[in-house]
């Protein structure tokens, strides 16, 4: 058996880190909404912390660290998109159409200028 490369190890670690955001409760159940709320809250807080860290330390951090923070921020944006898709789907199942309303963008101003 071949030894995994550094890239393969990093990828496996990232998948493990992000796996905690997968919602396992059945769509639309009370358990789903509780789990969704916990994970959505974590995303909002983590994204805010990363944005603040970038704003405060932008000129003090080495470029590699800023690149890493930007990559983390992008990962959390992708997770927010996943959670938003689940929310929209769960609401549509209940017959609620929320066309044109994206929760994460309206909560955090994701359309702000990027770093």
Q: Tell me: the pLDDT tens digits for 24-51? A: 999 999 999 999 999 999 999 999 999 9
Q: How far apart are CA 83 and CA 103, in angstroms?
A: 10
Q: How far apart are CA 72 and CA 19, in angstroms?
A: 14
The pLDDT assigned to 115 comes to 43
The pLDDT assigned to 109 comes to 54
Mean pLDDT in residue range 41-70 = 93
pLDDT, tens digit, for every residue of 87-107? 999 999 988 887 766 767 656
Confidence of residue 52 (pLDDT cuts 50, 70, 90): very high
CB 69 within 8 A of CB 54: yes
CB atoms within 10 A of CB 23: 20
The domain ranges of the chain are: 39-96
């Amino acid at each position: 058996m071949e030894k995994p490369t550094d890239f393969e190890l990093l990828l496996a670690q990232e998948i493990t880190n992000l796996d905690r955001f997968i919602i396992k409760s059945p769509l639309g159940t009370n358990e789903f909404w509780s789990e969704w709320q916990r994970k959505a809250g974590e995303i909002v807080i983590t994204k805010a912390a990363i944005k603040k860290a970038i704003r405060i330390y932008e000129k003090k951090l080495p470029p590699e660290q800023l690149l890493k923070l930007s990559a983390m921020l992008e990962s959390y944006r992708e997770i927010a998109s996943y959670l938003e898709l689940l929310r929209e789907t769960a609401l549509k199942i209940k017959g609620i159409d929320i066309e044109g309303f994206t929760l994460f963008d309206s909560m955090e101003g994701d359309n702000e200028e990027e770093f």
